[in-house]
Amino acid sequence: MVLVTPEKIASVMALVPVPHSFAELDQLVSNGLPKQALKSSIEHIYNNSEDRKQLLYQIIPEATYKRRRDKLTPEESGRAERLARIYATAQYVWDSEDDAKTFLCASHPMLNGQTPLAVSMTEIGARRVEELLWRLYYGIAA
């Protein structure tokens, strides 16, 4: 049973057309997502434009991002999808956009005092954050 669907992940990235399976989402990522997909994900996490810019350039260096015309590379698209997936999972678990943002941006003892957002910059880190979120959701000692 998948709780965070490809549609929910795609909605964070404002993808059109919306993929209805992980295979379709994977194909979109492999072909390169639009630049706007990453910006949309970041806009869900931060309200402040300076924080948005800092996160954007942490994911893709500024000069590289500015060189991209319309599409991200598959690797950059994977980072954008990962960010959207972490946000969609946090939103599902907390059932609130504000609580999801707070969780992602606050240090957590189970992540060695790092923020879930910082830990999720790598795929293995994102898996750790997802595991923590599901433990919280199911009431398992985090």
Residue with tokens 């810019």: 53
User: pLDDT (tens digit, 9 = 90+) per residue, 93-129?
Assistant: 999 999 999 999 999 999 999 999 999 999 999 999 9
- Please determine, for residue 141, whether its predicted confidence score (pLDDT) is greater than 80: no
- At residue 43, φ and ψ (nearest 5 deg) are -65, -25
State how far the Cα of 118 lies from the Cα of 91, in Å rounded to an integer.
17
Can you say whether the dihedral through the CA atoms of 134, 1, 126, 95 is positive or negative? negative
pTM of the model: 0.94
3-class DSSP state of 14: coil
Would you kindly state where each structural domain of the chain is located, as residue ranges?
A: 6-138
Average pLDDT over residues 83-89: 98
* Res 2: pLDDT: 65
Yes or no: say if 110 and 142 are a contact pair by the CB < 8 Å rule.
yes
Alpha helix segments (H runs only) across the chain: 6-13, 22-31, 35-45, 49-59, 62-67, 74-94, 97-105, 116-119, 123-138
- Please determine, for residue 3, whether its predicted confidence score (pLDDT) is greater than 90: no
Yes or no: say if 45 and 59 are a contact pair by the CB < 8 Å rule.
no
* Res 13: pLDDT: 98
- Please determine, for residue 142, whether its predicted confidence score (pLDDT) is greater than 70: no
* Res 140: pLDDT: 85
What's the chain's average pLDDT?
A: 95
Average pLDDT over residues 19-32: 97
- Please determine, for residue 32, whether its predicted confidence score (pLDDT) is greater than 60: yes
Q: ∠ CA 6-9-12 to the nearest 5 degrees?
A: 150
First to last CA, the chain: 22
Yes or no: say if 94 and 51 are a contact pair by the CB < 8 Å rule.
no
User: pLDDT (tens digit, 9 = 90+) per residue, 34-83?
Assistant: 999 999 999 999 999 999 999 999 999 999 999 999 999 999 999 999 99
